[in-house]
Amino acid sequence: MKDLKGKALFAQSGGPTAVINASLAGGITEALKNPSITGVLVAANGVYGVLNEVFYDMQKEDEEQLLALKYTPAMAFGSVRCKLSTPEKNSGDLEKILEIFKKYDIKYFFYNGGNDSMDTCDKISSYMKKAGYPVNVIGIPKTIDNDLAETDCCPGYGSAAKYVATSVSEVALDASIYTSPLVIIVEIMGRNAGWLAAAASLSQVSGYGADLVYLPEVPFSAEKFISDVKKVVDKKVHCVVAVSEGIKYENGKYVGDDSSKTDVFGHTALGGVCGYLKSLLTAELGVKCKAIELNILQRCAAHQASKTDADEAYECGRIAVIKATEGETDKMVAIKRTGGQKAEFELVPLNKVANAEKKVPLDWIDEENAWLKKPFFDYALPLIEGENPVVYESGLPKFAKMKKILFKL
Amino acid sequence: MKDLKGKALFAQSGGPTAVINASLAGGITEALKNPSITGVLVAANGVYGVLNEVFYDMQKEDEEQLLALKYTPAMAFGSVRCKLSTPEKNSGDLEKILEIFKKYDIKYFFYNGGNDSMDTCDKISSYMKKAGYPVNVIGIPKTIDNDLAETDCCPGYGSAAKYVATSVSEVALDASIYTSPLVIIVEIMGRNAGWLAAAASLSQVSGYGADLVYLPEVPFSAEKFISDVKKVVDKKVHCVVAVSEGIKYENGKYVGDDSSKTDVFGHTALGGVCGYLKSLLTAELGVKCKAIELNILQRCAAHQASKTDADEAYECGRIAVIKATEGETDKMVAIKRTGGQKAEFELVPLNKVANAEKKVPLDWIDEENAWLKKPFFDYALPLIEGENPVVYESGLPKFAKMKKILFKL
C-alpha cells in the first residue's frame, strides 16, 4: 500500500546468527530518517513482545550503538520461538496483533527470521489485509542454515560458513602434529539442509582442512563412512571429518536421533552425532578419535564474521524499509548474486518462502568421495569473503550496548 | 659456553598453541642471520625427529612462509609426546642424541614446549655437559595452561585466553535471547591449573560474559554449584558457567574422571565434565541446559590470537638464539612483565622449571562467588590485548606452507 504514514515495528525471531543484528542496524537507521515513518520500535522477543506490548524506542538509542549492532551477534532485543495458530483454527493472536497495530499506529512491520518466521510474517500480513488494516509487511531473511527458498543465499550463512571453514582449517593443522593416526570429527549445525556442513569443505582452499564431508542430503551409510575414513587414515595418517547434525540413514532415521526430545515446531532436537561416530570408529578401526561439536559457537562467532555477509545483512534491513515505504507488502527481501561479492536485492512473495526448505543440490555433491563439487565452491567462496570490521576494547570485541528504553503511548 | 660455532637445531613438543610457531619464526629468522650459526635445522616431531635424524633445512624455506608462521597455529614441523628415561635408568636415548649432535655438528639446541618438555630439555643439557660435548641448550616456553614456573606468563596463554573470553562473551549474548531460563556450561582446558578457565571471567569486561567460574584450585562442591547456578537463574534468567576440565572434589577425584584412560605421562585423560554438570543441573533444577566443550578449538584459534602474546612468543624464540650464541645454556627464556603490554625477557635455570607447575594464586580467587578477584584481571587483561594480524586469502587465513626439505649431510 502506498503513501502510508505511521510507525515502523521491527521484530526478530528464531535462532541467532552473527549478523542478524546487522539487518536490524540497516533497517533502524533507514527507518529513523524516512519521512513516511513517524516512530521506530523494536518488539522485545519477537511476536512475544508484540502480543505483550513491550516495545523499545529506537529514537532513544545512540547512533554509535546502533552501528555497533553490525558486528554484535545474537538478537539485541531478544528472540522467540513460537508458531502462530492458523487463522482458520484460532485467530486470537492475530486479532490481538491487529488491535495493537491500531493502538500504536503501526503502518510498517518488519519480521527478521528464517522459514518459520516467514510463515508468521505471512500470517500477520494476510490477516491484516483481510481485516482491511493498512500495514506494509516485509520479511527480512536470516539463517545460518541457508535453507530459505527464493533467495540465492541467506544473511548469517556466510559468517557461520567462514567460522566453520576457519575453525576446521585450524583443527586440521592441530590434528597433524603427531605421527600417530588420529581422526577428528567436527559436528556442524543443519537439520535437513547441509549448507553449513558443506562449508567445512571450503577449509581445503587454505591447504589445510576437512578430508570428508557428510550431509543430510545423502543417505548415511555407516559401512561407507568407516571405509572412507580408513582410506584417508591409511593414506594420510590424520583425517578430519565434517558431519552435519542432520545426517540420516536410508530409512530416514537421524543418526543422532533422540526421539524423546522435540522442539515446539515438532523438529527432533539433535545432538550427539559426533559422539556416536567417534565410538563407531574407535570400535571398528581402533583409531584414536576426537569429537568436536561446534555447538552454538558457529552461529554467534561475530569476531569471525564475513564482511560480504554482514554488508548484505545490513542491506536486507535497509532495502526492506525502502521498499515498504514505497508501497510494497507481503514480501521478503531476497538476495540475487550477480558475480563474486556483488549482489542485488529483490522482493519475493512471503508465501513462497514460508515453510519451504532449500537443500544443497544433489549434483553439487560428490557422494562417492564424501565431498563437494566445483559449483558449491563457486557458490560459497564469495560468501565468506572479507573480514567484518570489529571494534575492540581491552582485547575484546566491543559489542553494542542498547539502552532499551520502553516506548509508552 | 662462549664462542661456539656450529648448527642450530630447533624442536617442538607437547600440545600446540596458536602462537608456538611464532616462537619458531622468531628463533629461525634470528638463527639464519647469526654468524655463530652455520646451519638451521628443525627436527620433525620433536625428539622423535632428533632420534631418527629427520631434520628440515630452514635455509631452503621462503622468508615469506617463515614469517607467516607468526599466525599459523599448531606445530609446522610436528610435535611429540614422549618422556626421556632418566640417565640413571637408561641413557640409551641420550647417548644416541649425543652421537647425532656430534654427527650433525649441533652446537645450539632449542626446545620449545611446556613443563614436560623443559624436563626433556634439562636432561639433554645435563647429559651433554657430563659427556663434555659443547652445546648450548635453551628452552623456549609455551603452553595454553600458563602453568610454567619462573615466568610471569607463558606464550600461548594470552591467545587461548582471548579466544575463550571472546567466545564466552558471544555465547552469553546467544544465551540471552529467549525469555525462558537457560544455563550454558562451557568446559575449558587446564588439567591442574585454572588459568585458562579463569580467562572466561575476562568476558565480563565486554559487558556480556560468564556469571560463574570454577577452577581446579578450589575443591568442587556439587551442592554449592547447584545453589550458585540457581541464584543466578533466579536473578538473571540466563546463566553462563565456565568450568575447568580439571575441577576436583574435596577428596581429589576429578569431577570428569574416567580412570581407565591415562596419557603417557600418567595424567588422567579428562573430558565430559560439562556433560556431567549438564545432567546434574537438569536433574536438580529442571532447567534447560547446554554444554559446550571448547575442545582443541581453544588451543588452535590463531584467527583470534592476541598480538601481545604472538609478539612475546616471537621474542622468546629470538632471545633464545641471541642468548645461546652469547654463551648461555641450560636455561629457559622467561617473561617478566613490566606494566601493561610491556615485557622484558630473562633466563631462568631449566631445572627450576622442569616438571614444576604454577597455579592461580588462591588469593586471586573469590571462592564464595565462583569468580576472580581484581589481581587476576590486572594480570590477564594485558595478555589478551591487540589482535594479531592475520593475512587472508579467499576469505580464509593464509597459513604458512613449509617446503620441508630434508637436510642431508
Look at residue A257 in the predicted model and tell me its pLDDT. Answer: 73
Tell me the CATH number at A282: 3.40.50.460
Same domain, B33 and B139: yes
- pLDDT tens digits along B88-107: 666 689 999 999 999 999 99
Contact A79 B178 (CB under 8 A): yes
Same domain, A74 and A108: yes
Same domain, B281 and B344: no
Same domain, B281 and B322: no
Residue B52: which pLDDT band, with cuts at 50, 70 and 90?
A: very high
φ/ψ of A57, rounded to 5, equals: -95, 110
Q: What are the residues facing A10 on neighbouring strands? A: A42, A110
**Chain A residue with minimum CA distance to B74:** A174
Whether residue B330 lies inside any domain: the answer is yes
- pLDDT tens digits along A145-155: 999 999 999 99
Look at residue A259 in the predicted model and tell me its pLDDT. Answer: 44
Q: Given the residues B93, B119, B122, B145, select the one marked as catalytic.
A: B145
- pLDDT tens digits along A287-328: 999 999 999 999 999 999 999 999 999 999 999 999 999 999
Say if residues B287 and B237 touch (Cβ distance below 8 Å): no
Pairs of CB atoms within 8 A across A/B: 171
Q: Given the residues A122, A145, A309, A330, select the one marked as catalytic.
A: A145
d(CA A112, CA A17) in angstroms, rounded, equals 11
* Distance in Å from the first CA to the final CA of chain B: 25
DSSP-based three-state secondary structure for B180: coil
**Chain A residue with minimum CA distance to B308:** A395
Look at residue B36 in the predicted model and tell me its pLDDT. Answer: 97
Residue A83: which pLDDT band, with cuts at 50, 70 and 90?
A: confident
Q: Give one word for A34, left, alpha or beta, with left for phi > 0 and alpha for psi -120 to 50.
A: beta
Say if residues A247 and A255 touch (Cβ distance below 8 Å): yes
- pLDDT tens digits along A179-198: 999 999 999 999 899 999 99
Which chain A residues are closer than 8 Å to B297 by Cβ?
A: 167, 170-171, 292, 297
Mean pLDDT, chain B, rounded, equals: 94
Which chain B residues are closer than 8 Å to A48 by Cβ?
A: 179
Same domain, B309 and B263: no
Provide the pairing of β-strand B396-397 with B392-393. Answer: antiparallel
Same domain, A331 and A263: no
Whether residue A391 lies inside any domain: the answer is yes
How far is B110 from chain A, CA to nearest CA, in Å? Answer: 18
Which chain B residues are closer than 8 Å to A74 by Cβ?
A: 170, 173-174, 176-177
**Residue from the list A170, A203, A393 with its beta carbon closest to the beta carbon of B301:** A170
Residue B222: which pLDDT band, with cuts at 50, 70 and 90?
A: very high
Whether residue A209 lies inside any domain: the answer is yes
Which chain A residues are closer than 8 Å to B174 by Cβ?
A: 16, 73-74, 296, 299-300
Same domain, B35 and B114: yes
Q: How many domains does chain B have?
A: 2
Look at residue A260 in the predicted model and tell me its pLDDT. Answer: 45
**Chain A residue with minimum CA distance to B309:** A395
Same domain, A137 and A88: yes
Reading the block at residue B357, the C-alpha cell is: 607447575
Say if residues A298 and A244 touch (Cβ distance below 8 Å): no
Look at residue A340 in the predicted model and tell me its pLDDT. Answer: 84
Domain boundary among B256, B285, B301: B301
Contact B78 A297 (CB under 8 A): no
Query: CA-CA distances (angstroms) from residue B270 to A239, A272, B189, B190, B292?
Result: 22, 18, 9, 10, 15
- pLDDT tens digits along A39-80: 999 999 999 999 999 999 999 999 999 999 999 999 999 999
Q: Give one word for B187, left, alpha or beta, with left for phi > 0 and alpha for psi -120 to 50.
A: beta
Q: Give the residue from A174, A306, A394 with the most B CB atoms within 10 Å of its CB, the best one to mutate.
A: A174
- pLDDT tens digits along A218-227: 999 999 999 9
In Å, the largest CA–CA distance within chain B is 71
Domain boundary among B271, B301, B331: B301
- Could you give the percent of chain B with pLDDT greater than 90? 89
Whether residue B1 lies inside any domain: the answer is no
Please indicate whether residue B145 is annotated as part of the active site. Answer: yes
Contact A387 B384 (CB under 8 A): no
Residue B260: which pLDDT band, with cuts at 50, 70 and 90?
A: very low
Same domain, A346 and A286: no
Look at residue B341 in the predicted model and tell me its pLDDT. Answer: 83
Contact B300 A173 (CB under 8 A): yes
pLDDT(A261) > 60: no
Same domain, B11 and B140: yes
CB neighbours of A170 closer than 8 A, spacing ≥ 6?
Answer: A208, B73, B74, B297, B300, B301, B302, B303, B397
Mean pLDDT of A366-391: 98
Mean pLDDT of B101-129: 95
pLDDT(B272) > 80: no
Segment holding A238, helix H or strand E: strand A238-244
- pLDDT tens digits along B289-299: 999 999 999 99
Same domain, A103 and A37: yes
Nearest-5° angle of CA B137, CA B21, CA B385?
110
Same domain, B135 and B114: yes
Grid-cell match 519477537, residue found: A46
Contact A169 B399 (CB under 8 A): yes
Whether residue A80 lies inside any domain: the answer is yes
Q: Which domain holds residue A315?
A: 6-145+303-356+386-397
Reference B349, options B145, B130, B138, B106; nearest CA is B138
Whether residue A231 lies inside any domain: the answer is yes
Domain boundary among A258, A276, A301: A301
Which chain B residues are closer than 8 Å to A272 by Cβ?
A: none
Which chain A residues are closer than 8 Å to B80 by Cβ?
A: 178-179
**Residue from the list B78, B173, B205 with its beta carbon closest to the beta carbon of A177:** B78
d(CA B160, CA B150) in angstroms, rounded, equals 20
Tell me the CATH number at A328: 3.40.50.450
